[in-house]
Amino acid sequence: MRSGKTYYISGISPPAGGKISGISDSMSKIGKQIVNIPQGTEVKLADGVLSVKGPKGAFSKNFRDDIKIQINDNKITFAPVKNDIFSRSLWGTYASHVKNMIAGVNKEFEKKLIIEGIGFKSEVAGGNLVLALGFSHPVKVPIPADLKVTAVKNIISISGINKEHVGEFAAKLRSLKKPEPYKGKGIRYQEEIIRRKQGKKTA
């Protein structure tokens, strides 16, 4: 990415001038926003590693040097080092990542899944989430150390300070038994609406 070449997103041809409307502009708007550091939250940047610590915990993340991150007077600003499409896309992405890091150490992110199906159930046993999903054997899924998982009746709650980890683990569980469109059996997000299909009618 540092060869001096311009990279374009597959399937999108750049217009005259080499600027793709709607991609860099939207990212730039996010990147230009100033991120405020709440009271009781500590943010440090050293050798490309941003560390955030707050009431709910602490974690770190690596950032490329394509974006200059500055921390002054409890405010964080972002600026691309180069004026190209790749840097402008990172600009907004990095700003979003930092916002989520600060938000997570102050109030944990949470995802809820609903299990539907006769005989389908879940429980937390030790460091595993044990699922009965209609297979010949229960499915055991190790719970990541940085996440909290509870299973009450047919609702699985996943929470943690890292938004990406919460989302990834929720997606992993859902993939074990995706909801089918006829009776809705399977695992779905709490806010997810499954479009139902009409079953075959018997004469």
Judged against a pLDDT cut of 90, whether residue 60 lies above it is answered with yes
The pTM (predicted TM-score) of the whole model is 0.78
* Torsion on CA atoms 183, 186, 192, 195, rounded to nearest 10: -30
Question: For residue 174, what are the contacts with CB-CB under 8 A and spacing of at least 6?
Answer: 113, 187, 188, 189
Residue 196 confidence (pLDDT): 66
d(CA 160, CA 56): 9
Of 59-73, 76-90, 110-124, 141-155, least confident by mean pLDDT is 76-90
Out of 3.90.930.12, 3.40.50.300, 3.40.50.2300, 3.40.50.2000, the CATH code matching 109-189 is 3.90.930.12
Q: Do the domains 24-104 and 109-189 sit in the same CATH topology, yes or no?
A: yes
More confident residue, 25 or 50: 50
Residue 142 confidence (pLDDT): 98
More confident residue, 6 or 127: 127
Q: Binning pLDDT at 50, 70 and 90, where does residue 66 land?
A: very high
Residue 32 confidence (pLDDT): 87
DSSP 189: E
More confident residue, 100 or 10: 100
pLDDT digits (tens, 9 = 90+) for 115-171: 999 999 999 998 999 999 999 999 999 999 999 999 998 999 999 999 999 999 999
Q: Which of 158, 115, 109, 167 is nearest to 138 (CA)?
A: 115
Average pLDDT, the chain: 85
| Mean pLDDT on 75-101 | 91
Residue 26 confidence (pLDDT): 56
Tokens of 188: 């779905």
Domain parsing of the chain, residue ranges:
24-104, 109-189
Displacement of CA 144 from its chain's centroid (Å) = 15
Taking the CA atoms of the chain, what radius of gyration do you get in angstroms?
Answer: 22
Residue 167 confidence (pLDDT): 97
Q: In the CATH scheme, what is the homologous superfamily, with its name and number, of domain 24-104?
A: Ribosomal protein L6 (3.90.930.12)
| Mean pLDDT on 86-100 | 91
Judged against a pLDDT cut of 70, whether residue 23 lies above it is answered with no
b vs e for 47-81, b when ≥16 Cβ sit within 10 Å of the residue's Cβ? eeebebebebeebebebeebbebeeeeeebebebe
Percent above pLDDT 70 for the chain: 82
| Mean pLDDT on 21-41 | 76
Please check whether residue 121 is in contact with residue 130, taking contact to mean a CB–CB distance below 8 angstroms. no
Judged against a pLDDT cut of 70, whether residue 10 lies above it is answered with no
